[in-house]
Amino acid sequence: MTIFEKSVKGRKAYSLPEFDIPDVEIDIPEHLKRKEKANLPEVYEVEVVRHYTELEKKNFSVDVGFYPLGSCTMKYNPKINEDMSALFRWLHPYQPEETIQGALELMYDLKEKLLEITGTDDMTLIPSAGAHGELTGMLIIRTYHLDRGDTKRDKVIVPDSAHGTNPASAAMAGFKVIELKSSDEGLVDLEELEKHLDDTVAAIMLTNPNTLGYFERDIEKIAKMAHDVGALLYYDGANLNAIMGKARPGDMGFDVVHLNLHKTFSTPHGMGGPGSGPIGVKEHLKDFLPVPVVRKDGDKYYLDYDLPKSIGMVRAFYGNFGVLVKAYTYILTMGKDGLTKASELAVLNANYLKALLREVYSAAYDEDGKRPCMHEFVLDGSKLLKETGVKTLDVAKRLLDLGFHAPTVYFPLIVPEALMIEPTETESKETLEAFAAAMKQIVKEAHENPQILKEAPKNTPVRRLDEATASRKPVVRWQKQ
């Protein structure tokens, strides 16, 4: 039931003192005048609260249960982050610089810390989220080449295992996308890469570890190959949670390093954010960062708009500041050793879960269980499909019945019937074991009574949704009948 259906004429959730200001005639042009009354629901305050609390209870979040959504790093978001960001909620983006020195200092210091974590030389905190950061990074690369008078670089190489946003961002920045076939180990195939590399390539976009959860061990060689033909190397930050404090993209040879503060640095995300996708760059790309950049002059912090070669503004104001406060809080509360430990545990948890599931599921490219993964792994569901007719989608839906959020499914595209699992460092041994037990139960059901899986989920607020019709004929907002 929507809030509109609960509306009863005359009910209200407020009580205002009597209106004692005389009516004034304002000359509003006829075409700007509202013709009919705003259609607002009329309810008591308690009904508003109950309505939204009821909706909240139907939601699943990491505060409710295990959320192993591969590539999304759904780690627990410590509540202290929220407390700290609340301290800044009265700031206004138009306030004069001298009244917001604390906020600027926070941004400056967060940037310094992220530069150290990523091994880059300068950074913008402005991009609103992951794909926006990617586009910003691509525009920086484009502007860099054009600034050198190098106008023939119209291609960007993206592996076939990449996040879908990578080719999309490259295309949006005006590049042609070349898809790179992965090797039979699920890594960048150097011979294949060599074939595509020439002076028309602007950049290679990679994530390391890659989406299959394996570390690109030839990364330094790849960086050299790219740089030898004048191309740049772009780092997608989705998987940084595997390597914090252990390895730095900047040291691997990446020129542009993207981060998802809302994943790696524990700020809430999913369903529209807000996120934050900073872009770190090496020295030779500093001049092209979007404006404004936070700088320090003596004891004073200020916003620098004076970058003549900048790609310009990528959004209004200075990014999703609340998210920056939460990420800063996370970094300070964890400390250097804490961040390193987080990555270690994320990798350990993934490998433990992969080993627990081996009995019923094989992970892609894992050499019969002998190859360790990084912070995530991808299960291949084709055997189960062949034996029982149960699709990965059915398995995912059944997991909802058993109280878990489903993993990422059908991605990366190079693994058939893929289930991509990222447990993160914040889950206990017991939780991982409970999830493995649920997966084993599902595989058993697939063999014994596949109908349960085809009809799943049964215990959720809504049953299986018709995704095809939802995509073909989307209804994205409520409308009065």
Partner 1 sequence: MKKYTKSHEWVEVIEGNKAKIGISDHAQEELGDVVFVELPEIGSELKKGEAFSTVESVKAAEDIYAPVSGKVTAVNEELNDHPELINEDAEGKGWICEVELSDLSELDDLMTEEEYKKFIEG
Residue numbers of the site for partner 1 (CB under 8 A)?
Answer: 164, 410-411, 413, 467-468, 471-472
On the 0-12 / 13-18 / 19+ scale of CB atoms within 10 A, 230 is middle
In angstroms, give the least distance from the CB of 175 to partner 1: 14
- Residue placing its CB nearer to partner 1 in the complex, 67 or 411: 411
- d(CA 81, CA 170) in angstroms, rounded, equals 33
Q: Residue 4 or 410: which CB sits closer to partner 1?
A: 410
Q: Is 174 within 8 Å of 142 (Cβ atoms)?
A: yes
Q: How many helices (H) and strands (E) does the chain have?
A: 15, 13
Output the smallest distance, CB 447 to partner 1, in A. Answer: 23
Q: In angstroms, give the least distance from the CB of 465 to partner 1.
A: 11
Closer Cβ to partner 1, 146 or 465, answer by number: 465
3-class SS letters over 247-292: CCHHHHCCCEEECCHHHHCCCCCCCCCCCCCCEEECHHHHHHCCCC
> Residue 435 contacts by C-beta under 8 Å, 6 or more apart in sequence?
66, 68, 353, 404, 423
Please, which residue, 1 or 468, has the CB nearer to partner 1?
Answer: 468
d(CA 137, CA 149): 19
Residue from 353, 402, 369, 363 nearest 383 by CA: 363
**Minimum CB distance to partner 1 smaller for 471 or for 481:** 471
| Cβ 466 to partner 1 shortest distance, Å | 9
CB distance 209 to 239 below 8 Å: yes
* Closer to partner 1 by Cβ: residue 69 or 115: 69
Task: Quote the least distance from Cβ 171 to partner 1, whole Å.
Answer: 11
Cβ-based nearer residue to partner 1, 15 or 471: 471
Residue identified by tokens 């989307």 is 474
The least CB distance from residue 174 to partner 1, in Å, is 17
Cβ nearer to partner 1, comparing 30 with 467: 467
Nearest distance, CB of residue 384 and partner 1, angstroms = 16
Cβ neighbours for 34, distance < 8 A, ≥ 6 positions apart: none
Shortest distance, CB of residue 164 to partner 1, whole angstroms? 7
Residue 273 CA to residue 199 CA, distance in Å, equals 38
Q: How far apart are the first and last CA of the chain?
A: 14
- Tokens encoding 188: 């960048």
